[in-house]
Amino acid sequence: DPENTGLQLKYLETLFYMSSFREAIQFSIRKKKLQSNPEFWLSIGRTYYELSFYEHSLNALKKYLELTRTNKSEAHYWIAKNYMELEEYGKAVQEFELAVAPDQAIKSWVEQNTAELLPSARQKNKFYKGRLKLSSGYDSNILRDNHKTGDWVTLVDLYQDYYFIRK
């Protein structure tokens, strides 16, 4: 439905989680009506970050902060990540601290990731802590003999934040 803003925002978020970042940007350019919704700017900010367009990401996330009165924790987290990539560690520390401020409705993953990245930002080092996420379940989209069947799958997701020296 071209007029259903909620559905379009879910589609944009789905593109992000499918790592279809360029498609998400192209979709967002065509959907001018979404730009009045704060969630649009959060999604676009995260997407630009994943594409390494840090200044665009910062602009989008700051627009989100201007438009919303509710939970700003996630936006502060992504802003901090941008500053880490730009090696502006003082700003990253400030944003990480805002992300877990007591007056925020903090998502558990924001709290966990901030706890892991904040020491790196404070030490101004270029080492990142790594995490490996394992998950498993059934995939019902696998075709076998021309009909769908469930198969047990195990997914491994290696996060971007692994130990390495950037320079």
pTM: 0.70
State residue 96's pLDDT score: 94
Task: Examine the pLDDT at 127 and tell me if it is beyond 50.
Answer: yes
49-67 as b/e: b if 16+ CB within 10 A = beeebbebbbebbebbbee
